Amino acid sequence: MKRTTTKLADGRELIYYDLDEGAERDAADPRPLEPVDSRPELRLDPATGDWVTIASHRQGRVHLPPTDACPLCPSRDGHLGEIPAADYEVAVFENRFPSLAGREGRCEVVCFTPEHGASFADLSEDRARLVLDAWTDRTRQLSALPGVEQVYCFENRGAEIGVTLAHPHGQIYAFPFVTPRTAKMAAAAARHRAATGENLFEDLLAGARSATERLVLVGEHWTAFVPYAARWPYEVHLYPHRRVADLTRLTEAERAELPGTYLELLRRFDRLFRGEGRTARPGPTPYIAAWHQAPTTGGGELALHLELFTVRRSAEKLKYLAGVESGMEAFVNDIAPEAAARRLREVAS
C-alpha cells in the first residue's frame, strides 16, 4: 500500500491510498476556497452525563446533489470536487463540515471508490483490503492525536439512513470523549468480569458460536452472528476469534480473511428483500456499518467488532425509531433474531 498526503486549497488534509507503490498523486486543488470556519461546541447533558455536539454550521453542507455535481467524484474539466485527482482508489480527507474539529476532535470522509454508482459490496477483495488498511492507518494516526479518546470508522448507506451524498463513502470520527454506547459496553463488561471472572465479549462470541441458530457466517478467524437481543430487524455482529482492542492489533491472517467475509455480509444484505412485496428488486438495502473500537486508554475489557444493521424490516417497510425507542431508548424488534439469522443464511452466495 502507498500512502500519499497532500493539502486541499483551504488547508485540509487529503490522503490517497493506492495498491500500486508507484502511483503518483500530485494534482493540486485549484479551487478558490476560503479556510474552513467550523466551530462545533461540546455540551454535557447534566441529566444523562452524555456529551452533545452543537454544530450549526453543518446546515449549509451539500445535500443530495445531482451526479454531475458530486463532490466525491474525481475532478475533471468543468467539475472540481473535493478530490483533485482525475482518478483514485481510496481517498481520505478532512470533512469541510465537521461535527468535531480542532481540540474537540476530527471528522474525516473516506471515499471507497471513484465509481459514483458503485457500492462497497461491488469492490474486489483487494480494494476492500485497501479500505481496511486505510481504516487501520487512520485509526493509528488519529489515536495518537492529543485529546482523542476514541476512533470510530463507519458507513451510512441509503437515503433512508439520512445520507446526503450518494457516492460510496464512509466517515471516521476521532472523539475527544468516550461515546455513550461504548461507555455502556465498558460498564457491562466490568459487571460481567466482577460476576464471572470472564471477559464479556469473549463469552458473547462463544455463546453465539454454540447457539448455531443465530450464526450467519463462520470463518477461520471471524464469526458473524445475530445478537441474542438484536435491536434492529436485521442486525449482524462480526467478531475476530481473538479478542483485540482495535483494527491496528489484527494479525496479517485476520486482515487477509476480513475483506471476503465483510463483502459477503454486505452482499447478503442486498439480497435480503429481493422477491418481496410489489417490486421484485427493491433498491439497495440501507444500512449502517459501525466498527466498535476500544478507547485509546482504559479499554482493556472491550473488543473490536463490527455492528452491521438495516432500518428496513421488509421490502416496503422501515423500522422507525418512534416514541418508545427515541423517547426512552427502549427498543422493540419486529423480527426474531433467529429468524433474521436464518434469512441471512438463505441468501448466502
Distance CA 285, CA 120 (A): 12
Q: What is the largest CA-CA distance in the chain?
A: 64
Give the pairing type, strands 90-94 and 150-157.
unpaired
Q: What are 329's strand-pairing partners?
A: none
Could you tell me which residues come within 8 angstroms of residue 191 by beta carbon, excluding any fewer than 6 positions away? Answer: none
Distance CA 248, CA 136 (A): 5
Angle between helices 252-271 and 125-143 (to 10 degrees): 120
| Residues with a known catalytic role | 169
φ, ψ for residue 239, nearest 5 deg: -120, 140
Count of residues making up the chain: 349
Give the three-state DSSP class for 30: coil
Secondary structure E strands in 61-168: 90-94, 106-111, 150-157
Distance CA 228, CA 214 (A): 8
